[in-house]
């Protein structure tokens, strides 16, 4: 049906994602022209590797935002998961399956705590997650004294490196733990949100909670799932980050929330719930990475980076709001 394909392209052209894509292409072209280093395979792999942590968390947050909630405690959750998991691995020995199982378990449990406070006590999610961020983080610092862990199990420190291939003379690329986890998280979240009835229930609930309840959706269960999913993503992201940093530092993750929120919001997710896509989040993450990386490659002081990120968020959110308003007033009611 060529007609419907045109129609869906038309719809894509009006979407937030389309404009993001244009902005990203323009940015890439100009950064590529300004600095030959930018558009290289090396830089691409580096960016994917170093933004895997933010990206995985962004996917968890995307699901929470679509459900109509918000969670900012995930960096503390990740810090706890990371610390406990690698302490256990150091003490008792473990393998990949084990460490991921532990980190996921811890993340999921902490997420469930958030869900219980939010749903059972009906406290707004922003307040709950600000509180739990401080509680999780405070307890972690108290029990660890803020000490870093530098010695990690050998197999963990080595990481993984799959599908190695050579490029040019002496550079070789492969799929490392970060890229693998990032790719898997994107795939799984996409499947959850677009191919499972649970994902669609999450969208519906975020769009109209009362209506979801009336249709018999299990609102408590869905919220539980959503916040656990955020926690699980925090668990996975925490190992990805520890492997990359080759150390566990209880104090460095907290504070990175805003990067994650930035990526998701740039990607078009709405804090009002019900709106947001995996593609958008990917593009939002890409834009964030390109901006921050571009600033460094252009030799601008990296102190400017938050300024530009903030500016781009403002512009992109206003542009979307403006175009929606235009469309609403222009579409004369039938």
Partner 1 sequence: MTTFLEMSGISKRFGGVHALRDVDLTLEVGEVHCLVGENGSGKSTLIKIISGVEAPEPGGRIVISGKEYPKLSPVYSTHCGIQVIYQDLSLFSNLTVVENIAMAHHLGGVHTVNWSSMRAIAMATMAKVGIEVDPETKVSELSIAGRQLVAICRALAADAKLLIMDEPTASLTRHEVNTLIKLVSDLKRSGICVVFVSHRLDEVLEIAERVTVLRDGAKVGTFAAAAIDGSKLSHLMTGKAFEYQKQVPDLAVGAVVLEVQGLGRDGDYDDVSLQLRAGEVVGLTGLLGSGRTELALSLFGMNPPDRGTMALDGHRVVLNTNADAIRRGIAYVSEDRLTLGLILDQSITSNVTLTVLERLAGAFGLIGTRARQSHVARWVAELGIKVSDPNNPVKTLSGGNQQRIVLAKWMATNPRVLILDSPTVGVDIRAKDGIYEIIRRLAREGVAVLMISDEIPEVLYHSHRVLVMREGRLTADVMAADTSEDALRQAVNA
Positions in the binding site for partner 1 (CB under 8 A): 4, 7-8, 11, 194-201, 203-204, 206-208, 210-217, 273-275, 327, 329, 331-334
What are the distances in angstroms from CA 318 to CA 63, 290, 322? 23, 21, 6
1/97 with CB nearer partner 1:
1
Neighbours of 109 (CB within 10 A): 16
Cα 327 from Cα 210, distance rounded (Å): 27
What is the phi/psi pair of residue 333, to 5°? -65, 145
In the chain the first and final C-alpha atoms are separated, in Å, by 26
Q: Min. distance of Cβ 26 from partner 1 in angstroms?
A: 28
218/256 with CB nearer partner 1:
218
Q: What angle do CA 34, 37, 38 make, to 5 degrees?
A: 70
Cα 69 from Cα 61, distance rounded (Å): 9
Q: Which helix (H) or strand (E) element contains residue 175?
A: strand 171-176
Specify whether the backbone of 147 is left (phi greater than 0), alpha (psi in -120 to 50) or beta: beta
Q: Min. distance of Cβ 311 from partner 1 in angstroms?
A: 26
Residue owning tokens 């190695």: 164
Q: Min. distance of Cβ 269 from partner 1 in angstroms?
A: 11
In angstroms and rounded to an integer, the radius of gyration of the C-alpha atoms of the chain is 21
Q: Min. distance of Cβ 210 from partner 1 in angstroms?
A: 7
6/143 with CB nearer partner 1:
6
Task: Give me the count of residues in the chain.
Answer: 334
- Which residue from 239, 195, 288, 227 is spatially nearest to 84, judged by alpha carbons? 239
Burial class of residue 188, CB neighbours in 10 A (0-12, 13-18, 19+) = middle
Q: Min. distance of Cβ 214 from partner 1 in angstroms?
A: 6
Cα 59 from Cα 19, distance rounded (Å): 20
75/201 with CB nearer partner 1:
201
Q: Min. distance of Cβ 287 from partner 1 in angstroms?
A: 23
54/269 with CB nearer partner 1:
269
Q: Min. distance of Cβ 277 from partner 1 in angstroms?
A: 11
302/331 with CB nearer partner 1:
331
Q: Locate 67 and state its tokens.
A: 């459900």
13/327 with CB nearer partner 1:
327
Cα 69 from Cα 59, distance rounded (Å): 14
197/301 with CB nearer partner 1:
197
Q: Min. distance of Cβ 205 from partner 1 in angstroms?
A: 9
């Amino acid at each position: 049906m060529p007609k419907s394909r045109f129609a869906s392209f038309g719809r894509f052209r009006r979407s937030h994602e389309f404009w993001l894509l244009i902005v990203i292409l323009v940015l890439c072209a100009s950064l590529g022209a300004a600095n030959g280093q930018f558009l290289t395979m090396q830089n691409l792999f580096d960016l994917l590797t170093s933004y895997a942590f933010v990206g995985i968390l962004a996917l968890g947050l995307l699901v929470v935002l679509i459900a109509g909630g918000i969670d900012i405690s995930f960096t503390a959750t990740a810090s706890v998961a990371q610390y406990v998991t690698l302490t256990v691995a150091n003490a008792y020995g473990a393998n990949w399956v084990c460490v991921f199982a532990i980190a996921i378990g811890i993340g999921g449990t902490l997420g469930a705590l958030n869900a219980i406070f939010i749903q059972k006590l009906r406290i707004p999610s922003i307040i709950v997650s600000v509180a739990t961020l401080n509680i999780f983080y405070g307890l972690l610092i108290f029990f660890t004294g803020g000490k870093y862990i530098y010695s990690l199990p050998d197999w963990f420190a080595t990481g993984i490196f799959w599908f190695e291939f050579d490029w040019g003379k002496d550079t070789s690329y492969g799929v490392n733990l970060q890229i693998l986890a990032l790719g898997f998280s994107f795939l799984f979240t996409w499947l959850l949100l677009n191919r499972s009835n649970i994902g669609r229930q999450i969208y519906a609930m975020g769009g109209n909670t009362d209506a979801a309840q009336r249709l018999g959706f299990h609102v408590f269960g869905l919220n539980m799932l959503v916040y656990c999913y955020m926690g699980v993503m925090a668990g996975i992201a925490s190992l990805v980050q520890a492997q990359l940093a080759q150390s566990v530092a209880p104090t460095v993750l907290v504070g990175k929330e805003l990067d994650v929120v930035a990526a998701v919001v740039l990607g078009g997710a709405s804090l009002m719930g019900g709106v947001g896509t995996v593609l958008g989040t990917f593009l939002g993450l890409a834009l964030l990475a390109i901006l921050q990386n571009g600033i460094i490659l252009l030799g601008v002081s990296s102190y400017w980076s938050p300024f530009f990120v903030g500016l781009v968020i403002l512009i992109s959110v206003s542009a979307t709001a403006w175009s929606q308003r235009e469309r609403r007033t222009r579409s004369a009611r039938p």
